[in-house]
Structure 1
Amino acid sequence: MTYCVAIKLDDGIICLSDTRTNAGIDTISKYKKMFTWQREGDRVITMMTAGNLAITQAVISLLNENIEHVEDGIETLYTAPTMFRVAEIVGDAMRIVMGRYGPGLTAAGESSASSIVVAGQRAGGDMRLFQVYSAGNFIEATEDTPYFQIGEHKYGKPILDRVIEPSTPLNVGITAAFLSMDSTLRSNLSVGMPLDVAVMRQGQIGFDQLRRIEEGDEAWAEMSEAWSGALRGAFHEMTQIDV
């Protein structure tokens, strides 16, 4: 399984994903779940995937293959005029792949369910955040729901609900995303490091941050331990409730 979170704020968008796809007594697989495209001054796009790995890999491969054959007149991530159109292109690719492989997976008793988070900005347009489903349809983040989670989302949701609103500063949003991931790592063995981080600042049309956090990262370990200590301290300070 995996955990990916994307947060859309007035100041920008934060994307964070793990790399674990399977966990067992003797089997741990790691695959990149975050993919990026950028053309400086024109557009910046980040996608994160969850669900059936073969399906999502095929969708990303199809999107990249279309870019390589743009001379054939195919509309691509680099020629789409808006981020809404980018989401439609991803949805179209999802439908093609699901139509090709979905029936066979169903017949074999395997789930083909997949989802892709699409985030980015086109020059002259606003930053936008979408979640594309297996059927190729999608929804967009709003002021009421400024973040999306895919994969093992339940452990990382509480802090986002308490902290995140559109006016949240970008650096605070990054911390919230990190703590959301840390909570998930602590509670679910199917989510694991390394982590991929992409931060896109409003109006920048590029990546403010694009990096990987490896297992054993000292700054991450310090943050995780500080958060655990803060939670323990808050728990001990709570007034006892009579029941």
Structure 2
Amino acid sequence: MTYCVGLRLNTGLVFMSDTRTNAGVDNFSVTRKMFTWDVPGERVITVMTAGNLATTQALISLLDERSKIVSERNPTILEQPTMFQVARIIGETLREVIADSGSEGQKAASKFKASVILGGQIKGGKPTVFLIYPEGNFIEVTDDNPFFQIGETKYGKPILVRAYDPDMSFEDAVKLLLVSFDSTIKANLSVGLPLDLQTYTADSFEVSDKPRIEADDPYYQTVSNSWGEALRNALTQLPSYQGD
């Protein structure tokens, strides 16, 4: 399992993903799930993946390979005029990978399923985020639904719904996402550190920093411990239940 979030702010985009993969309760490893392509001054495209690891690795390999060889048969995401067209290409590629995997002897198509968060900006358009389903169809963020999650989403969603504000700073957005991820990590062993983080400032068409947050990161530890203490304090301040 995994957990990834792509979030749109008025100032740009924020992405965060965990790096844990597992093939059983005693076989965990670290694998990157966030990937970025860019043309400085013209476009930045970020993809995060969740699902079958062979499927997601094949998807990323195809996108990367085709980004270097332009052809009508295999269009590249670096040549598309809009983020919508990029989403369409990635959806088609994902569907292609799943179909090819299923035709090689495996009967359960669900074994190869994967989902994708796509975000970025192409010159002439606005920063945006898409959620791409295994079937290849996709939806785009809106003012009413300004972020997408994939993977193990249920534990980290409540804090996002309650605390998200489109006017918040990148610093506050990262803090919000760390709380969301910390809640998920504590509830599910299949999600774990380190975490990959990326922020994108609107109209900059560049990503200058892509830090990895390790388990011993002082800020992460402060957020985790402080959030747990704040929840305990809030619980004690709530009125006690009065039975009949």
Q: TM-score if structure 2 supplies the norm length?
A: 0.93
Q: For 1:73-124, what per-residue CA distance to the aligned partner results, in whole angstroms no more than 9, with x for missing partners?
A: 7421211111111111101111211110134475168622210100001112
Letter in 1 for 2:94: M
CA–CA distance in 1 between the matches of 2:38 and 2:17? 19
Name which of structure 1's ranges 186-195 and 199-208 shifts more when overlaid on structure 2.
Answer: 199-208
Q: How far apart are the structure 1 equivalents of 2:156 and 2:140?
A: 20
Once residues 102 and 134 of structure 2 are traced to their aligned partners in structure 1, the CA distance between those partners, rounded to angstroms, is: 10
Equivalent residue, structure 2, for 1:143: 143
Percent identity, aligned pairs only, is 44
Change (3 A) 1:149 1:105: farther
CA drift at 1:211: 1.2
In the alignment, structure 2 segments of 5+ residues that lack a partner are none
Partner of 1:205: 205
Q: Distance in 1 between matches of 2:178 and 2:218?
A: 14
Moved more, 203-212 or 134-143: 203-212
Matched to 2:66, the amino acid is N
Distance in 1, Cα, partners of 2:166 & 2:25: 41
Partners of 1:142 and 1:192 lie apart in 2 by 29
Q: 1:233 to 1:209 in 2, by over 3 A?
A: farther
Q: 1:208 to 1:176 in 2, by over 3 A?
A: farther
Conservation of the 8 A alpha-carbon contact between 1:105 and 1:111 = no
Does structure 1 retain, via aligned residues, the 8 Å contact 2:102–2:109? no
Q: CA deviation at 1:40?
A: 1.4
**Which moves more between the two structures, 108-117 or 59-68?**
108-117
CA distance in 2, matches of 1:230, 1:27: 34
What is aligned with 1:125? 125
Q: Is the 8 A contact 1:201 1:208 kept in 2?
A: no
C-alpha distance after superposition, 1:108-144 (max 9, x if no partner): 6862221010000111210010011111110101111
From the superposition, tell whether residues 28 and 204 of structure 1 become closer, same or farther in structure 2 (CA, over 3 Å).
Answer: same
Contact 2:45 / 2:119 at 8 angstroms: preserved in 1? yes
Asked if 1:241 is matched to 2:241, the reply is: yes
Deviations 1:190-221 (A, max 9, x none): 00111100111122212254111122112211
Q: Distance in 2 between matches of 1:232 and 1:82?
A: 47
Change (3 A) 1:75 1:104: closer
Distance 1:107 1:46 in 2: 32
Residue 96 (str. 1) matches residue 96 (str. 2): yes
- Maintained 8 Å contact 1:35/1:47: yes
TM-score by length of 1: 0.93
More off after superposition, 107-116 vs 189-198: 107-116
**Cα deviation code 1:157-216 (max 9, x no counterpart):** 000010114333333222111110011011110001111001111222122541111221
Q: 1:125 to 1:190 in 2, by over 3 A?
A: same
Compare 131-140 and 72-81 and name the one that shifted more. 72-81
Gapped regions of structure 1 (runs ≥ 5) = none
Give the Cα separation in 2 of the matches to 1:116 and 1:231.
32
Q: Aligned partners of 1:57 and 1:197: how far apart in 2?
A: 19
Contact 1:196 1:213 in 2 (8 A): yes
Structure 2 counterpart of 1:157: 157
* 1:52-67 alignment runs, 5 A limit: 52-67=52-67
Aligned-partner SS, 2:47: strand
Partner of 1:115: 115
Q: Give the secondary structure class of the aligned counterpart of 2:156.
A: helix
Judge conservation of contact 1:146–1:165 (CA < 8 Å) in 2: no
User: Cα distance, 1:223 vs. partner?
Assistant: 1.4
Q: Distance in 1 between matches of 2:89 and 2:109?
A: 29
Helix, strand or coil: the match of 1:203?
Answer: coil
- State the one-letter code of the partner of 1:57: Q
